[in-house]
């Protein structure tokens, strides 16, 4: 089987974080969110992967993943000129797929469950497609499936009055039957070729579509709150490690991960689950955590940070309390204000108070 990773889109709901790069490269627990998708495909035995790129930061995707060898997979790239929909992105991978069965993974989906058994079941079945469903509290945000007696009855895209709460997650197992269907699709009101419309057409034409339920964690990271929530969930599952240095005044509580070259000193407190990258300096009574990711090469002084993501090469100092925030790389924040603040800062931001 082969894999397709969708890495396009504009990420408008995540601006200013996505002004300088694709949302799928935004880090969760110090790793780009799309890397979790690569790992999931690899764990399922899929090593040949096409990454569909387009829009802002396509070159950054290619620079990060390269030919895939350092991730243990083989990667090729397929260019999508405009965001014309998931079905269109799948269709332009026709020559890559050939007549193999394949798995499509949206690069902004985070799933903690291994999909190997789902992939194996599909590979050995006669189904023309298989989808993963998850119960959600806000079904109008998603494609929705209606299921009765163990069979999918209907699939629709973001209905205003959802008839069920079963979201179609961004993981699809497909055969080459889908290409003929997509060729006959008409654009939706968004002027996109919707994968939900293609799946619905397959149902109407009596093609067999199976499904599995995700009862573990799944998140479509479309908003800053989604990213922070996913960051917390990933951190809770990580195993603690300490590869840095600390003095005797430092307090560490709970599940803490610290990278090489990082120095903790001067009465700092780290509360897990928290991950701190390489070559950081945390000093002067800082409190970091819980549910916090600090990227590489950061310097934090006298600040309080919790439930947040601070990307690489950032400096935060002064009596500032930060919570539920995302601060992009190469940013500097100096603030002498004990009032708790929420920040959403794009790359290279500098704020001085």
Same domain, 248 and 225: no
**62-85 confidence digits (pLDDT tens):** 999 999 999 999 999 999 887 788
Mean pLDDT of 329-339: 83
pLDDT confidence of residue 51: 97
Q: Considering its fold, how many domains does the chain have in total? A: 2
Q: CA dist 94 to 55, 80, 107, Å?
A: 21, 13, 19
79's enclosing H/E stretch is strand 74-79
- Alpha-carbon distance 252 to 257, whole Å? 10
Domain end position, chosen among 210, 234, 258: 234
Read off φ and ψ for residue 161, nearest 5 degrees.
-120, 85
Same domain, 272 and 200: no
Same domain, 275 and 207: no
Same domain, 194 and 253: no
**197-236 confidence digits (pLDDT tens):** 999 999 999 999 999 998 888 887 878 898 999 999 999 9
Domain end position, chosen among 234, 262, 295: 234
Are the C-beta atoms of residues 167 and 146 closer than 8 Å to each other?
no
Same domain, 213 and 149: yes
Domain CATH for 178:
3.90.550.10
**148-200 confidence digits (pLDDT tens):** 988 999 999 888 888 999 999 989 999 999 999 999 999 888 888 999 999 99
Cβ partners under 8 Å of residue 314, min gap 6: 295, 298, 299, 327, 329, 330, 331, 332, 333
Mean pLDDT of 18-40: 88
Same domain, 191 and 292: no
271's enclosing H/E stretch is strand 269-271
Same domain, 32 and 103: yes
- Alpha-carbon distance 21 to 255, whole Å? 31
Q: What's the mean pLDDT when you consider all of the chain?
A: 91
Same domain, 205 and 267: no
Domain CATH for 341:
2.160.10.10
Same domain, 113 and 87: yes
Residues spanned by the domain of 262: 240-352
Same domain, 284 and 208: no
Coil, strand or helix at 199: helix
Same domain, 131 and 95: yes
Domain end position, chosen among 209, 234, 259: 234
Same domain, 75 and 113: yes
């Amino acid at each position: 089987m082969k894999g397709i990773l969708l890495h396009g889109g504009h990420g408008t709901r995540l601006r200013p974080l996505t002004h300088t790069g694709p949302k799928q490269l935004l880090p969760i627990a110090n790793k780009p969110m799309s890397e979790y998708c690569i790992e999931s495909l690899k764990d399922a035995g899929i090593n040949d992967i096409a990454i569909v790129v387009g829009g802002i930061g396509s070159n950054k995707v290619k620079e990060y993943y390269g030919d895939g060898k350092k991730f243990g997979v083989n990667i090729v790239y397929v260019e999508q000129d405009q965001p014309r929909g998931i079905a269109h992105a799948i269709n332009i991978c026709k020559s890559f797929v050939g007549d193999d069965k394949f798995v499509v993974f949206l690069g902004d989906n985070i799933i903690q469950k291994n999909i190997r058994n789902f992939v194996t079941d599909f590979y050995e079945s006669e189904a023309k497609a298989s989808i993963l469903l998850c119960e959600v509290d806000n079904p109008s945000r998603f494609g929705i499936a209606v299921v009765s007696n163990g069979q999918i009855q209907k699939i629709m895209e973001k209905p205003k009055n959802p008839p069920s709460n079963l979201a179609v997650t961004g993981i699809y197992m497909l055969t080459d039957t889908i290409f003929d269907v997509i060729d006959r699709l008409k654009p939706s009101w968004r002027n996109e070729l919707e994968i939900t419309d293609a799946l619905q057409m397959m149902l109407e034409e009596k093609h067999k579509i199976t499904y599995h339920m995700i009862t573990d964690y799944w998140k479509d990271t479309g908003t800053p709150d989604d990213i922070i929530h996913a960051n917390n969930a990933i951190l809770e599952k990580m195993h603690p490690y300490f590869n840095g240095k600390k003095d005797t005044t430092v307090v560490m509580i709970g599940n803490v991960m610290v990278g090489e070259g990082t120095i903790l000193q001067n009465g700092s407190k780290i509360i897990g689950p928290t991950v701190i990258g390489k070559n950081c300096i945390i000093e002067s009574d800082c409190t970091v955590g819980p549910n916090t990711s600090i990227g590489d090469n950061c310097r934090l002084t006298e600040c309080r940070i919790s439930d947040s993501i601070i990307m690489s090469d950032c400096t935060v100092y002064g009596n500032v309390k930060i919570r539920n925030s995302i601060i992009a790389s190469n940013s500097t924040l100096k603030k002498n204000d004990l009032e708790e603040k929420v920040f959403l800062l794009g790359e290279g931001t500098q704020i001085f108070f």
